[in-house]
């Protein structure tokens, strides 16, 4: 299993967010972190996907277990991880909106009237 932690890289930032920083207790391999980055747009969305994966594993493995005075609640842990993932996605979307990366508007010229209206709007905006 390959494991590297360098918070100056995108993979390292994903590890930082999901608290996967110690090689002895590694949750994901480098290739898996790279896959999260490839499948998602940005570090926060990749970290959110990783947290969702961890949450699914927690819910499947731990469930609700009570032994003597010790108890675990995999569903509650999974819920907390999914909440964190949702927060990361909201933050990523807000950052995209601040940078102007989100889609703003579209005008279609489907017939003569809408083509005329589009040209008029372009003139009013100063695009023509």
Q: What percent of the chain has pLDDT over 70?
A: 89
Tens of pLDDT, residue by residue over 57-106, are 776 666 666 778 777 777 777 788 888 888 888 888 888 777 665 566 67
User: Among candidates 39, 43, 80, 37, which has minimal Cα distance to 58?
Assistant: 80
- Model-level pTM? 0.65
Is the pLDDT confidence value at 10 over 70? yes
Identify the residue with better confidence: 59 or 107: 107
C-alpha–C-alpha distance, residues 84 and 96, integer Å: 18
| Closest C-alpha among 24, 92, 71 to residue 3 | 24
Backbone φ and ψ for 68, nearest 5 degrees, come out as 55, -120
Tens digits of residue pLDDT in 31-50: 999 999 999 888 999 999 99
Please name every residue paired with 66 in a beta bridge, in sequence order, or none if there are none.
Answer: 71
Closest CA to 82 of 50, 114, 41: 50
């Amino acid at each position: 299993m390959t494991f590297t932690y360098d918070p100056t890289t995108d993979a390292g930032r994903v590890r930082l967010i999901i608290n996967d920083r110690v090689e002895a207790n590694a949750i994901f391999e480098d290739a898996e972190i790279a896959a999260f980055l490839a499948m998602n747009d940005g570090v926060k969305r990749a970290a959110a996907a990783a947290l969702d994966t961890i949450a699914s594993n927690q819910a499947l493995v731990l469930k609700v277990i009570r032994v003597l005075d010790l108890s675990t609640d995999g569903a509650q842990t999974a819920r907390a991880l999914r909440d964190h993932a949702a927060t990361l996605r909201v933050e990523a979307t807000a950052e995209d909106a601040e940078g102007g990366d989100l889609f703003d508007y579209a005008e279609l010229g489907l017939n003569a009237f809408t083509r005329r209206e589009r040209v008029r709007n372009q003139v009013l905006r100063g695009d023509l």
